[in-house]
Amino acid sequence: MSPPLMESSASTLVIYPASQPQQEPKNENNGGIVFGSNLQQMQGEMPKEFLWPSRDLVDTTQEELKEPLVDLAIFKNGDEKAIANAAELVRTACLKHGFFQVINHGVDPDLIDAAYHEIDSIFKLPLSKKMGAKRKPGGVSGYSGAHADRYSSKLPWKETFSFLYDHQSFSNSQIVDNFKSVLGEDLQHTGRVYQKYCEAMKDLSLVIMELLAISLGVDRGHYRRFFEDGDSIMRCNYYPPCNSANLTLGTGPHTDPTSLTTLHQDQVGGLEVFVDNKWFAVRPRSEALVINIGDTFMALSNGRYKSCLHRALVDTYRERRSLVYFVCPGEDKIVRPPDNLLCRNEERKYPDFTWSNLFEFTQKHYRADVATLQSFIEWQQCSNSMSKPSNF
């Protein structure tokens, strides 16, 4: 039996208004809300399901986040001094807010362009085709129109298509096969593009894990080994123009429950990060990828590195797209910081947990927000107390 749904509380890591009690994700369609072209192009009053409270719609300061721009060419050159300097830049950013950007990352610009082109191949499909590929309750793969199948309020103004990527799969067509199965033979080429994109993202993520290990002063290969056999999540986001962009959000304020996020956003922009009690814009850079720490890696660093609150705005006139790769450990890997990270007599900030349990919590019991990890820990301890004594 699952423990009761937890209520969110204010985070101790950032100053931000406490969220309201979260609603358990639903398994049925939300009152007939379908995020089709008629709704996206509406001229009248914004449906109440898409309205966000004023505390979430606080205007941006128009200031840009001063996150570091890290040149990964240093790894190819083997310049240890430059690598140490880059690690220090990453450390400073991650201690404060967990965001940085990388250039010379090794991902072919033509592959990124192709991945954007194929976003249209997915989201321009007939609505009936997309709904036939709808994400199943409790799962992550498939199509979602404004998450209307999960929530009844504060719906995001976006469409998403997500799928899993198995780091250890011996198949070089796992995503092609998935696209054929879910979207049909016509999308085989789309699947091939995302197969190559995910392979490139996996390789890049392991380099970044090495850089994070260096920045934390632990064994250089520790996090690389930890994530080599993971199952990551790839997501394509499409944000249509919105006539009431000041009343809604493309993605609400949240932290990522996963470990590491690698994002490419188009030149429209819209990603914002909450730092020092203000929202800051993350500048779109066509040649760069945005990296941010998620809740699971925050636990792996014993809370040293921050999983920071962020959101995505929508534009009144322009559509927006982004490509997101969420790095996750193997489902049953025990999430705990390396022993040599902890100082003498330093207390653990989080008990051991598995990614599969945290994932279940976010998919079935809780809507990700500023307090996801702490709420999950409380939920897990409640669950453990029902079955066995806690070892934390």
Going from the C-alpha of 270 to that of each of 21, 247, 273, 276, the distances in angstroms are: 27, 15, 10, 19
Q: 369, 14 in Cβ contact below 8 A?
A: no
Q: DSSP of 304-331, one letter per residue?
A: SS----EEE---SS--EEEEEEEE---T
CA distance 155 to 240: 14
Going from the C-alpha of 120 to that of each of 196, 339, 362, the distances in angstroms are: 18, 46, 28
Signed CA dihedral, 206, 210, 211, 217: sign only? positive
CA distance 379 to 15: 22
Task: Please tell me which residue in 91, 320, 321, 367 is annotated as part of the active site.
Answer: 320
CA distance 360 to 362: 6
For the record, the structure tokens of 253 come out as 């304020």
Signed CA dihedral, 181, 183, 188, 190: sign only? negative
Cβ within 8 Å of residue 262, ≥6 positions away: 201, 204, 205, 208, 289, 290, 291, 324, 325, 327
Q: At what angle do helices 80-96 and 188-216 cross, to 10 degrees?
A: 90
CA angle in degrees (0–180, nearest 5) for 95-56-376: 55
What residues pair up with 295 in beta bridges, in sequence order? Answer: none
What residues pair up with 260 in beta bridges, in sequence order? Answer: 293, 327
For 238, left (φ over 0), alpha (ψ -120 to 50), or beta? beta
320 is catalytic: yes
CA distance 285 to 304: 28
Going from the C-alpha of 9 to that of each of 62, 194, 229, 359, the distances in angstroms are: 28, 38, 33, 19
Active centre residues (catalytic): 320
